[in-house]
């Protein structure tokens, strides 16, 4: 593959071709139907072709296009099962890999950012990337002191590509919406655009990652690689082995799935309480499952730990999660409709100009927060699809009520991260003791208090 496509006109043309491609395949499908193929067969083939083209383009363009694809990938659990398969396969590929940039480009960035003698910093450096993501790719190497390291190199022109892609994607957000029922695409793209500057700044990422690495240094459940070196467009961290979470989703045993799910929930809620930061990019490509040292632990996943990567996007929560969230959850589970409604109005979730029935608001919330009230809860794609369908169906009372609720800006990222994590738990098909994690880490929630 050539360098990251940088000219806005080139990237825009490729992205703009996506809706036209969708329409073209619909015409192709009609021809198949006329030719005698069953509706079910044609629909399935159409979905496979659509998924393949969509994520091929998003993956090759990297930048904002791939970032958008990764953000969508955690919501595949909400897709109806008859179309979920093709998208699941395409999305999983996007989570873990993308076409690499040429070796000459990698070497050019390293020389420019680390100096002409950059090779002296490493005892070994693998030119073939170990992973490729939306704005950079990772190379395995050995630092000059003998430590195995991951070298993250930012694609030249990544900032320009991110902004250009997301601007173009927002123009046809309406056409992309039906691909993921229950997900509002336009606000998702707008929020991704707001985070562009932070994600391009490897100094900020290094600071966030090192803060996590220090806090979780001796943690029995979570591992965060320490930062070794940072320069503009280059970030060097300790290397971390482990089983990619996407692999656990695809073929892991139930005990592995449950362990991964429990640790994912624990990291989501303990991170802000312990570091004042919320890891805000919870797609499976950013997590590993690590067996205990000295053995593979395959027969007993209870000792496995969760490895966490990529701190390019974080939310700063100095006091941990807002206490309002835990208090509202606790009161809702207790059936306290009026206090819940008053708190939602006070925090701006219900606008002053809107009047709603508190009992109807509680009825809207209870199915969504069901996992918080159970001793343990099995997260499944079926449960996720039911929630998405209930809220997305314009004919449902839940849809009508949901349209009258408001999401204050300060809660936007918290909401997306929480929903994305739940999406991953549903991909894992994991049984999780969510109530335990909320009681331990979420201010205002403790049901025993």
pLDDT tens per residue across span 193-245: 777 778 889 999 999 999 999 999 999 999 999 999 999 999 999 999 999 99
Q: How many domains does the chain have?
A: 1
56: in domain: no
CA distance 15 to 24: 15
Bridge-based pairing of strands 314-316 and 277-279 is antiparallel
Residues spanned by the domain of 362: 323-441
Tell me how far CA of residue 221 lies from CA of 137, 145, 240, in angstroms. Answer: 27, 27, 15
- How high is the pLDDT of residue 41? 41
6: in domain: no
List the beta bridge partners of residue 131: 138
Count of Cβ atoms closer than 10 Å to residue 22 Cβ:
19
176: in domain: no
Q: What share of the chain is helix, strand, coil (3-state, %, to 5)?
A: 60, 10, 30
334: in domain: yes
- How high is the pLDDT of residue 16? 52
CA distance 80 to 58: 22
CA distance 378 to 434: 10
CA distance 74 to 422: 9
Determine the Cα angle at 13 with ends 201 and 19, to 5°: 105
- How high is the pLDDT of residue 27? 35
289: in domain: no
409: in domain: yes
**Residue corresponding to tokens 């939310």:** 315
447: in domain: no
227/167: higher pLDDT: 227
Q: Pick the closest to residue 399 from 181, 248, 207 (CA basis).
A: 181
183 pLDDT tier (thresholds 50, 70, 90) = low
Q: What is the pLDDT of residues 299-333, one digit of tens each?
A: 688 899 999 999 988 999 998 999 999 999 999 99
311: in domain: no
- How high is the pLDDT of residue 301? 86
CA distance 113 to 115: 6
Q: Are 445 and 327 in contact (CB under 8 A)?
A: yes
Tell me how far CA of residue 166 lies from CA of 58, 75, 437, in angstroms. Answer: 11, 19, 35
User: Does residue 83 have a pLDDT over 80?
Assistant: no
User: Does residue 428 have a pLDDT over 60?
Assistant: yes
Tell me the torsion sign for CA atoms 362, 364, 367, 371: negative
């Amino acid at each position: 593959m050539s360098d990251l496509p940088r000219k806005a006109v080139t990237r825009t043309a490729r992205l703009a071709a996506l809706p036209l491609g969708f329409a073209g395949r619909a015409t192709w499908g009609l021809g198949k139907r006329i030719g005698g193929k069953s509706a079910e067969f044609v629909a399935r083939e159409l979905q496979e072709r659509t998924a393949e083209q969509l994520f091929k383009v998003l993956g090759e363009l990297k930048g904002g296009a791939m970032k958008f694809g990764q953000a969508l990938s955690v919501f595949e659990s909400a897709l109806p099962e008859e179309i979920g398969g093709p998208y699941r396969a395409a999305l999983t590929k996007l989570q873990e890999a993308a076409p690499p940039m040429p070796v000459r480009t990698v070497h050019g960035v390293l020389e420019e950012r680390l100096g002409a003698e950059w090779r002296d910093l490493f005892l070994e450096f693998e030119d073939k990337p170990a992973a490729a993501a939306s704005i950079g790719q990772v190379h395995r190497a050995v630092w000059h002191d003998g430590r195995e390291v991951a070298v993250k190199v930012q694609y030249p022109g990544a900032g320009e590509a991110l902004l250009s892609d997301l601007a173009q994607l927002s123009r046809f957000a309406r056409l992309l919406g039906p691909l993921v029922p229950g997900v509002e695409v336009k606000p998702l793209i707008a929020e991704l655009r707001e985070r562009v500057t932070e994600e391009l700044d490897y100094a900020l990422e290094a600071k966030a990652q090192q803060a996590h690495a220090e806090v979780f240094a001796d943690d029995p459940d979570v591992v965060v690689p320490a930062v070794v070196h940072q320069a503009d467009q280059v970030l060097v961290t300790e290397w971390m082995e482990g089983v990619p979470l996407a692999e656990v989703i695809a073929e892991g045993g139930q005990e592995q799935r449950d362990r991964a799910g429990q640790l994912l929930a624990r990291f989501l809620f303990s991170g802000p309480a312990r570091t004042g930061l919320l890891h805000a990019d919870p797609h499976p490509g950013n997590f590993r499952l690590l067996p205990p040292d000295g053995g593979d632990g395959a027969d007993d996943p209870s000792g496995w730990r969760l490895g966490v990567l990529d701190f390019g996007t974080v939310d700063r929560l100095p006091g941990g999660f807002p206490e309002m969230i835990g208090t509202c959850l606790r009161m809702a589970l207790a059936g306290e409709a009026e206090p819940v409604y008053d708190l939602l109005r006070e925090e701006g979730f219900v606008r002053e100009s809107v009047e709603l029935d508190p009992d109807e608001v509680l009825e809207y919330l209870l199915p969504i927060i069901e996992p918080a009230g159970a001793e343990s809860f099995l997260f499944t794609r079926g449960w996720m699809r039911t929630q998405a369908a209930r809220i997305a169906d314009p004919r449902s009372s839940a849809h009508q009520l949901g349209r009258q609720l408001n999401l204050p800006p300060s809660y936007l990222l918290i909401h997306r991260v929480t929903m994305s994590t739940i999406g991953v738990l549903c991909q894992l098909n994991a049984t999780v003791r969510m109530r335990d994690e909320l009681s331990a880490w979420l201010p205002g929630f403790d049901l025993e208090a």
